[in-house]
Every structure is written in C-alpha cells, then in structure tokens.
Amino acid sequence: MPAAPVEAASASSAVPDSAGAIDALLDAVTEIKAQQKQLEQQLEPLLEALNAAMAAGQLDPSFSHNDWAFSHSLGRLSYEFPAPVQEIEQQLKAAKETAIQQGSATEKRGKPFWTIRPPKAQDQPF
C-alpha cells in the first residue's frame, strides 16, 4: 500500500522528505507496533496472576514496587436495560439520525489518531 503524501511537511522537522525516508519511518512504526503486541501478549498472563494474588489477599488494590505505582481498577461499569428502556433508546437513536440528516445536529470531532494493525496472521489477532 503506498504511503499517503505528507501534506504538512513544514509543520515538523521530523517529517521525512523522501519516499525512502517515509518507508523507513513506516518500517520503524510497524516494528515497534509488532513489539508492542508481543509485549501485550506477554503481559496479559502476568496481569491475570496479579489479579489472582489480589483476590487471594496477597496484594492491596494500590501499592508501589521499585518506584512503580500499581493501582487496580474494577473496570468500566455498564448496565443491561429492560426492553422498555431499550425501545426508548432506539427512538432516541432514530431522532438523532433524523437531526443529522436534517442538518440540525452540530458536528464535533475528537483528536486525530492513527490505527495501525499488523498483517492478518493466526498468531497475531488484532
């Protein structure tokens, strides 16, 4: 896949100025992303072991170790609503879509970001 043209080359001195430099930049990014995925896979069983140790009373929910702060979070709370509430939610979604189509809804956009995925492979699900 060809690289997208760099539109704001003057915006940063770190912007590569040749196709070879862009290829090197993309190679560096994809190598780091691959390493990050490997590290995440190695980290997951360790975090599960931490959870087990905390559940067994061997760890507190917040502590420090070698100047690293550890803090356990219970996870995002969510709810499963009964059918009448779900019906109202569907009505609201339809009203929102109508407002978008009619142009009465105001657009907002978050901070730009990159999504970088490895090639599809059985050992690297994303």
- How does pLDDT run across 49-86, given as a tens digit for each residue? 999 999 999 999 999 999 899 999 999 999 999 999 99
pLDDT at 13: 53
DSSP designation for 63: E
Is the Cα dihedral 13, 14, 16, 20 positive or negative?
positive
- pTM comes to 0.59
> Please, where are the H alpha helices in the chain?
19-55, 83-102
Q: Residue 11: which pLDDT band, with cuts at 50, 70 and 90?
A: very low
Q: How far apart are CA 62 and CA 71, in angstroms?
A: 4
Averaged pLDDT for residues 101-116 = 93
Please list, in sequence order, all residues whose beta carbon lies within 8 angstroms of the beta carbon of residue 17, skipping any fewer than 6 positions away: 9
pLDDT at 9: 37
Q: How far apart are the first and last CA of the chain?
A: 19
DSSP designation for 18: S
| Distance, C-alpha 73 to centroid of its chain | 17
Q: How far apart are CA 70 and CA 64, in angstroms?
A: 6
